[in-house]
Structure 1
Amino acid sequence: MPNRKIIHIDMDAFFASVEQRDHPELRGKPVAVGGGGDRGVVAAASYEARKYGVRSAMASRTAKQKCPHLIFVKSRFDVYKQVSAQIRAIFAEYTPLIEPLSLDEAYLDVTENLKGMKSATLIANEIRQRIRQTTRLTASAGVSYNKFLAKLASDHRKPDGIFVIKPEEGEAFVAQLAIERFHGIGRVTAQKMHSLGIQSGADLRQRTEDFLRQNFGKSGGYYYRIARAQDDRPVEPDRIRKSVGSENTFAHDLDTLAEMQSGLIPLIEDVWQWVERTRVYGRTVTVKIKLNDFQTLTRSRSSFLPIRERKFFENLAFELLEENFPLPLPVRLLGVSLSNLEDSQPFEGKQLTLNF
């Protein structure tokens, strides 16, 4: 089977870059998109802010400690979605095989493309130029023969860069890479690998598949393959959403069950509106509780049949909430999600609503 030609496009600091584009006074300054209050969370950080260690999902209070002159701006998801649609339209001029991962990144399979272009590198550069002309924003691109390597490549020359990993270069590129740089290996897994003497891709390749499965379960097979630069996953334009959820960090801690039930109701409504709009039903309800010391508690319950009534969904969520009582500390965040969704409807790559 001939090698595929895969491009991974990743917009550079997307939300923050849109804000700097639309507000010239923010250009060149450290910017965080999200809530600037003590209970806020950073949704995105400009590259100027990242130099101080500010990153997405960081508590705003921590971000301000790292960068005292950090400028917070409120998120404008409607604008980000509009820009994302412009970018998606550019992709569609080159290939129908587009797998969006979020508003700001996607995989493209250009092995056979609508322009009849033989070079994936030329396509990636042309797309980056078109994005700049259309949106006045920059994008980074990775080009390779599978999704894993294309994703690694796009991270290699950020921001506003392009990097190509050719078929004969894949294994050597992976071998020299620190294990923390691997897409799909998080901080906790990296720490465990370090304890097993695995520091790099070369170290990972020396371990047998049985060893990796014994220590990392089902993921062990994936780690065995990526250590050899192998990834057979196709670019899937109609990915199936695995879950839908909503969560909120509250301005003040919640102490009582009544307060938490009230806080959960709009989140339940948010999820159920999606269910009614898509007619996709799930069987598993999960409630997430984050205490004010950042300890997270979750409880789930599954129904034998898909949940088709809002009241049943609400009752299950309330029961799961009550099962956590008494709680040792007040609550700063609540979330609810629905999973084990029926797969009769395709997911078109639309990002979940985030509450800040």
Structure 2
Amino acid sequence: MAARKIIHVDMDAFYASVEQRDDPALRGRPVVVAWRGKRSVVCAASYEARRFGVRSAMPAMRAGRLCPHAVFVPPDFTRYKAVSRQVHGIFSRYTDAIEPLSLDEAYLDVSDNRAGLPSATATAEAIRAEIRAETGLTASAGVAPNKFVAKIASDFRKPDGLFVVRPRQVQAFLAPLPVGRLPGVGRVMERKLADMGLALVSDLRNWSVEDLERRFGRWGRRLHELSLGIDERPVVSERPTLQISCEDTFEHDLLLEELEPAIRELAGKAWEGYLRERARRPERVARTVVLKLKTAEFRILTRSLTPPLPPADAASVADIACALRDRVGLPSRTRYRLAGVGLGGFADRDELIAQPELFTVPA
């Protein structure tokens, strides 16, 4: 079977770049996209801000300390989504096989590109040129025979770069990388592997798959496959929605009994997102309500309930989410810095109609 031709496209400092494009006074300056406040986190940072150590998901207060001269700009997601749609329109000129990962990045399978270009490299170059010409923004891209190698490659020449890994180069490309670059290897797993003397992908490759499987189960086999550059996952154009949620970090930590107004507001926002999803896919129905809480000590809790009938409106979602507080089980003096409400457990409407028949008791 011929190797796939996969491109991972990643917009450069996307939110911050949109702000700099639209406001010439911000160009060349350290821009931090975040609300100001003790509990706010950084949504994005321009490359000028990154030189000071500012990164996404960092507390905004810390970003301000690292870069005192940074310009803080509140995020405008409506504008970012509009630009993202424009970029995805460019992708669609070359292939239908597009798997969005977020507003600013996507996988494209261009094994059979509709523009008739001779290679994936030429296709990536054309896409990046059109993004620059039509949006005034830059994108970096990685080209490889599979998704995970393409994603790693797209980081190698950022910003505004292109890096190509051909099939015969995959193992040599991966060998010197730290194991933490492999998908699914977080800090905990990286420490476990380091304790075994496995710091680089080449170290991991030298272990037998049987030994890795004994230690880590099926994940050990997957690690060995990744170390060899094996990733058979296709580009999936339409992923089913697993959960729609909304969360908020409070300005001050709150007691459990004080959370009801915030929970009801979050339930309303989650319901609005659910209605948008239903307009897109009316056959999909959410059955489960999820309450997420984060304590002042950053412990994350989730509680969920699947009622006999799916929630019918925002009020019923809010009622269930508020009731889930009774199942938290922490001392009453515990304070919470964040709450979230989600809708999940999606099923097709036909399944829900048929389901009661399974439990019918004969007369």
Q: 1:337 aligns to what SS in structure 2?
A: strand
Match of 1:339 in 2: 344
- Greater CA drift, 328-337 or 21-30: 328-337
The answer to whether the 8 A contact 1:8-1:154 is kept is yes
Alpha carbons of structure 1 residues 344 and 92: separation in structure 2 relative to 1, 3 Å? farther
CA shift, 1:344, in A, is: 7.8
Alpha carbons of structure 1 residues 317 and 207: separation in structure 2 relative to 1, 3 Å? farther
- Provide, for residues 122-148 of structure 1, a one-character-per-residue CA deviation record: whole Å limited to 9, x for no partner: 110111011001111110000011101
**Percent identical:** 44
CA shift, 1:37, in A, is: 1.3
Letter in 2 for 1:276: L
- Provide, for residues 278-307 of structure 1, a one-character-per-residue CA deviation record: whole Å limited to 9, x for no partner: 1433344332212233x1231233427672
Match of 1:116 in 2: 116
- Show the 5 A alignment for 1:32-181: 32-181=32-181
The answer to whether the 8 A contact 2:289-2:304 is kept is yes
Alpha carbons of structure 1 residues 343 and 194: separation in structure 2 relative to 1, 3 Å? farther
CA shift, 1:34, in A, is: 1.2
From 306, 318, 322, the equivalent of 1:303 is 306
Equivalent pairs counted in the alignment come to 343
CA shift, 1:53, in A, is: 1.6
Match of 1:319 in 2: 323
**Any gaps of 5 or more consecutive residues in structure 2?**
351-363
- Provide, for residues 39-63 of structure 1, a one-character-per-residue CA deviation record: whole Å limited to 9, x for no partner: 2111111111112221111111121
Q: Report the TM-score when normalising by structure 2.
A: 0.88
Letter in 2 for 1:2: A
CA shift, 1:70, in A, is: 2.0
The structure with more radius of gyration:
2
Q: 1:332 aligns to what SS in structure 2?
A: strand
Alpha carbons of structure 1 residues 220 and 281: separation in structure 2 relative to 1, 3 Å? farther
Alpha carbons of structure 1 residues 309 and 26: separation in structure 2 relative to 1, 3 Å? same
CA distance in 1, matches of 2:348, 2:27: 44
Letter in 1 for 2:312: E
Alpha carbons of structure 1 residues 97 and 343: separation in structure 2 relative to 1, 3 Å? farther
From 290, 296, 313, the equivalent of 1:292 is 296
- Provide, for residues 314-355 of structure 1, a one-character-per-residue CA deviation record: whole Å limited to 9, x for no partner: 33322322322435542221112233322689xxxxxxxxxx
Letter in 2 for 1:318: C
CA distance in 1, matches of 2:172, 2:93: 33
Alpha carbons of structure 1 residues 30 and 40: separation in structure 2 relative to 1, 3 Å? same
The answer to whether the 8 A contact 2:255-2:333 is kept is no
The answer to whether the 8 A contact 1:39-1:249 is kept is yes
CA distance in 1, matches of 2:23, 2:32: 13
Letter in 2 for 1:339: G
Match of 2:266 in 1: 267
CA shift, 1:89, in A, is: 0.7
Match of 1:232 in 2: 232
Alpha carbons of structure 1 residues 343 and 248: separation in structure 2 relative to 1, 3 Å? same
CA distance in 2, matches of 1:268, 1:117: 48
CA distance in 2, matches of 1:226, 1:62: 36
Alpha carbons of structure 1 residues 71 and 188: separation in structure 2 relative to 1, 3 Å? farther
CA shift, 1:73, in A, is: 0.3
CA distance in 1, matches of 2:64, 2:296: 19
**Any gaps of 5 or more consecutive residues in structure 1?**
346-356
CA shift, 1:218, in A, is: 4.5
The answer to whether the 8 A contact 1:283-1:304 is kept is yes
CA distance in 1, matches of 2:291, 2:53: 31
Q: 1:251 aligns to what SS in structure 2?
A: strand
Are 1:330 and 2:329 an aligned pair? no
CA distance in 2, matches of 1:328, 1:63: 31
Pairwise CA RMSD: 2.1
- Provide, for residues 238-287 of structure 1, a one-character-per-residue CA deviation record: whole Å limited to 9, x for no partner: 11122211100122322351x20111111111222222331433344332
Q: 1:156 aligns to what SS in structure 2?
A: coil
Q: Report the TM-score when normalising by structure 1.
A: 0.90
CA distance in 2, matches of 1:30, 1:93: 34
CA shift, 1:30, in A, is: 1.4
- Quick one: higher RCO (CA 8 Å, sep 6+), 1 or 2? 1
- Provide, for residues 31-88 of structure 1, a one-character-per-residue CA deviation record: whole Å limited to 9, x for no partner: 1111121121111111111122211111111212222222210001111011111111
